Structure 1
């Protein structure tokens, strides 16, 4: 049996005002072509189909076109919701996607058997997948209540609660089938790319899973959530395929891939990385102020997307810097001063003591540039109303 494992499409991704959806659509078309050329019997999508809970029409078109391409090739699949997806939204189209051969598990059900899906393949083999969509601590407690768990105890430790689900899913494995687990979660020891939202929190607190918690009956664990391709467990074999394009400058230089898993019932799985060529290269150029023109001139043939970080003495202001850069590098999406070192050098640039509105303005500047006045006013108004409600 040959199973193609992918994850983290993030359709609808917007990078510094630049829509990455056309590149993601191209990558999904490439993956569908690989599924055909590599004779995949099934496709697993381990969450984060979309970048936001309310994706654009173009983002939905890219993902649904991918599933239609799999349907045209006669390749069934199973997809789960990630932390960026709206579980309710995916649930609402689960019936329609089922008509094209894609089973969707968007959120836990009161009957755990509903999270274990079996595909009957053309060659007569069976693929059983315990499908665990992303569960925040809040959602985990709610799901525990539905399934009769001890909710009070589960509030103590996320890991224990996730272990309960993993055990129940493992109970659904079958002796006459290839058995896999699919989850959107963070494993101990996983190495982030630097672009995953909230990943710094996942990797430093208790919201991670141990390889020891994975069901021993799983021949392969198809993971999503971490954007850097990697293997995180040997027994059972557990892998992240990573995101399908370089989504943020933190992923610059990474080679993207999908995983092709070869496996038979009762036998160890073998994983082959299939490289992806789609998506524009992201690159960060760090340059001294007096070398901006010469360094950008050397990158004249670069067709990817560029982030330029200009190193300058503390307190320097560089009027017209962005215009200078864009004249030489039209694909530059970001032009920043060396904020990391200046943040250490200048007390006034430290984040401690800043109001929420000031933090929001700093965040917006780092991501997109100058914060529009109307957004600043709206955020400040919302912040003040929230404080009044808390005080009341």
Structure 2
């Protein structure tokens, strides 16, 4: 009779190193969280760490963002813990592919881009205890490119979504065919599952759940003992058979995630047996909070938060037409960690945003957004946005 020891797999995702919130760099907090996760990998005796995409917040991350992520992998190397990583939609697949060889030297296997041969996306890890983990690793696959490849231009939205599912289903089935008996078999994927509940922080274009491209739990390969998902920032389970989980982002990335408890997942599993999943809470990252307050109570409410060490967004309710000179300075004097001071949306005549957007171009909308959130749009950023918009239009018409 064969006896298999229990494998311990730590699952995390959505670091978003390099994230800036209202001009405030969150990278030091992400670094702290990754240091905490590396510590958990040691104390929880993890055999392998899985990272399901979005290591970085942008395709061209800062040096500090790269240092935070690579320091995490070096810490795992120092503990002899291997890792498997896939690229997310925020990552530059080409950039990750360029360091695949280097990361391999520290025990991290990277799958940056989907390939025509799904067998190239199977990764095998031999643990220190002698067990074998087989991971079907599917990095983020652009919905637009996948649908476009199917030559469905002119089709209705429902047909596009269905074609996306069919294309992703091809990869998922082929990855499932790579699972082997006597091994622990897992799937990694950076995508949106049916029924996933967003935090409110993910980009609107990606998480309009009435229009987004999603996968069904029925498409997941039944041989997967655990499905390690990334893309949605709210920790949750989205499928029972096979068990599929989003561990969520590692810190509260913006005010849409305020109040969320962050975590990583520890998966205990043996070959051929059901996985047991444990949430491990994270303590790193500053707490985010939105304070809604009437104008006459601004000082008293903020004074009551004098001991709050997190980051604030203050929304002030005031009668229509009220002049509020110096309001931001008043708030910052009492709460220096306030990142945004806003008027109640109803008082800004934003109750009918569609009417205000009618007839505006994409660059006009972006300029308005930048003006409201960060101030005047710089000329170089305006030019870069126009270039990107023109490139997108060219791709769509190709």
TM-score by length of 1: 0.91
Give the whole-Å Cα distance in 1 for the aligned partners of 2:133 and 2:389: 54
Give the whole-Å Cα distance in 1 for the aligned partners of 2:252 and 2:112: 25
Alignment of 1:41-56 (within 5 A): 41-56=47-62
Which residue matches 1:148? Answer: none
Residue 173 in structure 1 maps to residue 179 in structure 2:
yes
Give the whole-Å Cα distance in 1 for the aligned partners of 2:20 and 2:235: 22
Give the whole-Å Cα distance in 2 for the aligned partners of 1:191 and 1:334: 26
Give the whole-Å Cα distance in 2 for the aligned partners of 1:376 and 1:320: 29
Which residue matches 1:235? Answer: 241
Q: Do the aligned partners of 2:371 and 2:377 also contact (CA within 8 Å) in 1?
A: no
Using the TM superposition, give the Cα deviation of residue 152 of structure 1 relative to its aligned residue in structure 2, in angstroms. 3.8
Alignment length, in residue pairs? Answer: 381
Using the TM superposition, give the Cα deviation of residue 364 of structure 1 relative to its aligned residue in structure 2, in angstroms. 1.2
Which residue matches 1:224? Answer: 230
Secondary structure, counterpart of 2:322 in structure 1: coil
Alignment of 1:330-349 (within 5 A): 330-339=336-345, 342-345=348-351
Which residue matches 2:4? Answer: none
Using the TM superposition, give the Cα deviation of residue 360 of structure 1 relative to its aligned residue in structure 2, in angstroms. 1.7
Residue 61 in structure 1 maps to residue 83 in structure 2:
no
Give the whole-Å Cα distance in 2 for the aligned partners of 1:384 and 1:169: 35
Which residue matches 1:90? Answer: 96
Instruction: Write out per-residue CA displacement over residues 287-311 of structure 1, whole angstroms, 9 at most, x where no aligned residue.
Output: 1111111111111111100001111
Using the TM superposition, give the Cα deviation of residue 111 of structure 1 relative to its aligned residue in structure 2, in angstroms. 2.2
Instruction: Write out per-residue CA displacement over residues 131-185 of structure 1, whole angstroms, 9 at most, x where no aligned residue.
Output: 000011234358x7xxxxxx34796611111011100000000011000000000
Using the TM superposition, give the Cα deviation of residue 51 of structure 1 relative to its aligned residue in structure 2, in angstroms. 0.2
Candidates 271, 286, 306, aligned match of 1:265? 271
Which residue matches 2:280? Answer: 274
Q: Do the aligned partners of 2:138 and 2:189 also contact (CA within 8 Å) in 1?
A: yes
- Structure 2 segments unaligned to the other structure (5+ residues): 1-6, 153-158
Q: Do the aligned partners of 1:159 and 1:206 also contact (CA within 8 Å) in 2?
A: no
Aligned-residue RMSD, C-alpha: 2.5
Give the whole-Å Cα distance in 1 for the aligned partners of 2:194 and 2:309: 37
Residue 136 in structure 1 maps to residue 134 in structure 2:
no
Residue 315 in structure 1 maps to residue 341 in structure 2:
no
Q: 1:166 to 1:332 in 2, by over 3 A?
A: same
Alignment of 1:83-122 (within 5 A): 83-122=89-128
Secondary structure, counterpart of 1:63 in structure 2: helix
Which residue matches 1:19? Answer: 25
